[in-house]
Structure 1
Amino acid sequence: MLRAAVELADEGGFDALTMRRLAAQLGVVPMALYKHVADKHELLDGMVDLVFAEVEIPVDVDWRTALRARASSMRQALLRHPWAVGRMETGTPGPANLSHHNAVLRCLRHDAGFPFRMAVHAYNLMDAYIYGFALQEKNLAGDIPAEAARRREAVADRQPSEIDDYPFLAEVVTELAKTGFDFADEFQFGLDLILDGLRRIREQSGGDEVPGPPGR
Structure 2
Amino acid sequence: MSSDLPPSRRRPTHRKGRATLTRESVGRAALDFLGDHRPAELTMRSLAAALGVSPRALYNYVEDRRDLITVAAEIFEADWRLPPLDPAPGRWPESLRAMCRDLRAHYRRHPGMTTLALAENVTAARHPVMLRNVDALIGFFAGLGLPLPDAYRACMESIRLVVGFVEFQDSPYDRPPAHLGPADTAPLPPWLTPDGADELPHLSRLAADMPDGTGSPDEFFEFSLDVLVGGIAARLPDAEPDAGPDAEGGQWSP
Q: Map residues 183-202 of structure 1 onto 2, 5 A cutoff.
A: 183-202=217-236
Q: Which of 205, 212, 215 pairs up with 1:178?
A: 212
Residue 115 of structure 2 is aligned to residue 72 of structure 1: no
Q: Map residues 1-216 of structure 1 onto 2, 5 A cutoff.
A: 1-59=26-84, 61-62=86-87, 63-87=92-116, 91-92=122-123, 93-109=126-142, 111-138=143-170, 146=186, 148=188, 150-151=190-191, 155=193, 162-178=196-212, 181-204=215-238
- Which is bigger in relative contact order (C-alpha 8 A, separation at least 6)? 1
> Which sections of structure 1, spanning at least 5 residues, go unmatched?
206-216
Q: How many residues align?
A: 198
Measured in 1, the distance between the counterparts of 2:109 and 2:211 equals 26
Shift of 1:18: 0.8
Measured in 2, the distance between the counterparts of 1:203 and 1:176 equals 39
TM-score under structure 1 length normalisation: 0.74
| Contact 1:55/1:70 (8 A) holds in 2 | no
TM-score under structure 2 length normalisation: 0.64
- Amino acid paired to 2:198: D
> Which sections of structure 2, spanning at least 5 residues, go unmatched?
1-25, 177-181, 240-254
More helix by share: 1
Does the C-alpha gap of structure 1 residues 138 and 85 become closer, same or farther in structure 2, counting only changes over 3 Å?
farther
Cα-to-partner distance string for 1:51-95 (whole Å, 9 max, x where unaligned)? 334545222633444432221122222222221243567524223
Structure 2 counterpart SS, 1:86? helix
Measured in 2, the distance between the counterparts of 1:86 and 1:176 equals 32
Cα-to-partner distance string for 1:154-176 (whole Å, 9 max, x where unaligned)? x46x5xxx333323212223333
Cα-to-partner distance string for 1:117-162 (whole Å, 9 max, x where unaligned)? 111221222223222222320465667884637446xx46x5xxx3
